[in-house]
Amino acid sequence: MKSYYIYTYGCQMNTADSERLAHQLEQVGYLPTEEVEAADLILLNTCAVRETAETKVFGRIGELKRLKEKNKNLILAITGCMAQKNQAEMFKRAPHVDIVLGTHNIQHINEMIAEVQRTHKHQINVDMDNTVLPELQAKPNGTFFAWVPIMNGCNKFCTYCIVPHVRGREISRPVEAIVKEVTELGQQGFKEITLLGQNVNSYGLDFKDGTDFGTLITALDGIPGIERIRYMTSHPQDMTKSMIDALGSSSNVVTHLHLPIQSGSNRILQKMNRHYTVDHYKALLQYCREKIKDVVVTTDIIVGFPGETEEDFQDTLQLLKDVRYDMAYTFIYSKRSGTPAATMDEQVPEEVKRVRLQQLMDIQNEISLDLNKPMEGHNFDIIVEGPSQRDENTWFGRTSGNKMVLFPKDDSLKVGDTVTAHIDRAQTWVCYGSIIK
């Protein structure tokens, strides 16, 4: 039997694509292997969001050359955002690669493998067709959760982001197709799904018939077996009150809302091409807190964007104090070739970025702890996810608001069980609790 091994880098969308690639490979007789040395096909599903991601992938491609030299029949394929971005140089830089497959063409993996076997020549398909989003089955890797892409591409063109250039324009899946997939996942025993899109709040706008993200959320409400619906990532520009109403009234949408702000300065938001103001963002968030019971809010923030002054940075710190996020994912700005921000003047010195990042994290950590402490003494439903990375005798699960709860291993529990946890002690990033029986 032929075997395959997939390296997956980057975001959850790439994880979902890898699951769809795995299903196609198994349809023609490939079986998964945990030993890369034994694989007949090695596929790298790549990320191009940061330069470091590309460097890491090219390093891995170089390492795999020795396997190609040992096994002349080994097929090495590169897909994902890096394949789309570096298509012109991929075979020159790594001639031992056999297939370069763009982000819009993963449905062609089997025919390209067959063509390599027939011709023993390089194969490439990086065409970007934004008129059709093929429906592909997946082989979910999760035991109780599954990824469900609802769209592809992005129309926003934030000046720091490469995604629109490698994923193309936005194109949505039909509501009916998504409902069908989620219904089947519920029948198969999956309890939690995550709806994926570069900007889920712009879902359906390309249909031009009034369909939007709120329409989809309403259509997914109450599907048997599905206890939790998560979604990522939201964008403040396209979020509307009607969408928020749908989220708040759903019986299975989680209470976790990830709403990236990126900066607390209107001047920097404009340079980022984000198309909303801080006041607009705050008003949206206030409406969310009114309509979504017990909502847990997280965000993304970039520190040191080109031209960010100390005043701009202080605006961001003030935003943290005003909004009080449960958690903020903070990043130091790094140049991404091919984006407008990479060539902007007034690049912020690295040392200044690091100092600002630490100040930001110090404030956010205090807020996160303040918001977690009131959880002590209360009970929360969690879904058991298994042993923690540090201690196999400590297991964990997550609340609807995505708060991680650690608890002593219990042999009567299995991964995927929904249980009630009593929070004994809350820390900045995690809570410690005990299972109530």
In the predicted model, is pLDDT for residue 209 greater than 90?
yes
Give the pLDDT confidence score for residue 147 in this predicted structure.
97
Average pLDDT of the segment spanning 325-340: 94
**Residue 193 CB neighbours (<10 A):** 27
How is domain 255-375 classified at the architecture level of CATH?
2-Layer Sandwich (3.30)
% the chain with pLDDT above 90: 92
Q: Per the annotation, where are the binding residues for [4Fe-4S] cluster?
A: 11, 47, 81, 154, 158, 161
Q: What angle do CA 23, 402, 378 make, to 5 degrees?
A: 140
In the predicted model, is pLDDT for residue 238 greater than 90?
yes
Give the pLDDT confidence score for residue 429 in this predicted structure.
94
% the chain with pLDDT above 70: 100
Where in the chain are the domains? 2-125, 140-251, 255-375, 376-436
CATH number for domain 376-436, candidates 2.40.50.140, 3.40.30.10, 3.90.1720.10, 3.30.479.30: 2.40.50.140
Residue written as tokens 């690295």?
Answer: 350
Average pLDDT of the segment spanning 215-238: 97
Whether 255-375 and 376-436 share one fold: the answer is no
- HEC profile for the chain? CEEEEEEECCCHHHHHHHHHHHHHHHHCCEEECCCHHHCCEEEEEECCCCHHHHHHHHHHHHHHHHHHHHCCCCEEEEEEHHHHHCCCCHHHHCCCCCEEECCCCHHHHHHHHHHHHHHCCCEEECCCCCCCCCCCCCCCCCCCEEEEECEECCCCCCCCCCHHHHHCCCEECCHHHHHHHHHHHHHCCCCEEEEECCCHHHCCHHHCCCCCHHHHHHHHCCCCCCCEEEEECCCCCCCCHHHHHHHHHCCCECCEEECCCECCCHHHHHHCCCCCCHHHHHHHHHHHHHHCCCCEEEEEEEECCCCCCHHHHHHHHHHHHHHCCCEEEEEECCCCCCCHHHHCCCCCCHHHHHHHHHHHHHHHHHHHHHHHHHHCCCEEEEEEEEECCCCCCEEEEECCCCCEEEEECCCCCCCCCEEEEEEEEECCCEEEEEEEC
Give the pLDDT confidence score for residue 390 in this predicted structure.
86
Average pLDDT of the segment spanning 349-372: 98
Give the pLDDT confidence score for residue 316 in this predicted structure.
98
Q: Per the annotation, where are the binding residues?
A: 11, 47, 81, 154, 158, 161
Q: In residues, how long is the chain?
A: 437
In the predicted model, is pLDDT for residue 124 greater than 90?
yes
Residue written as tokens 């017990």?
Answer: 294
- For the structural domain made of 2-125, what CATH number should be given? 3.40.50.12160
Give the pLDDT confidence score for residue 308 in this predicted structure.
98
In the predicted model, is pLDDT for residue 410 greater than 90?
yes
Q: Model confidence over 26-36: pLDDT tens digits?
A: 999 999 999 99
Give the pLDDT confidence score for residue 50 in this predicted structure.
81
Average pLDDT of the segment spanning 154-167: 93
CATH number for domain 140-251, candidates 3.30.1490.190, 3.40.640.10, 3.30.750.210, 1.20.1300.10: 3.30.750.210
d(CA 388, CA 279): 40
More confident residue, 53 or 140: 140
Could you tell me the pLDDT band of residue 126, with boundaries at 50, 70 and 90? Answer: very high
Could you tell me the pLDDT band of residue 89, with boundaries at 50, 70 and 90? Answer: confident
Chain centroid to CA 199: how far?
11
Give the pLDDT confidence score for residue 49 in this predicted structure.
84
Task: Please state which of the ranges 358-362, 389-393, 409-413 shows the lowest mean pLDDT.
Answer: 389-393
pTM above 0.85, yes or no: yes
Give the pLDDT confidence score for residue 54 in this predicted structure.
87
Residue pair 221/248 in contact by the 8 Å Cβ criterion: no
Closest-CA residue to 407 (of 375, 425, 254): 425
Give the pLDDT confidence score for residue 1 in this predicted structure.
85
Give the pLDDT confidence score for residue 213 in this predicted structure.
98
Q: Model confidence over 283-329: pLDDT tens digits?
A: 999 999 999 999 999 999 999 999 999 999 999 999 999 999 999 99
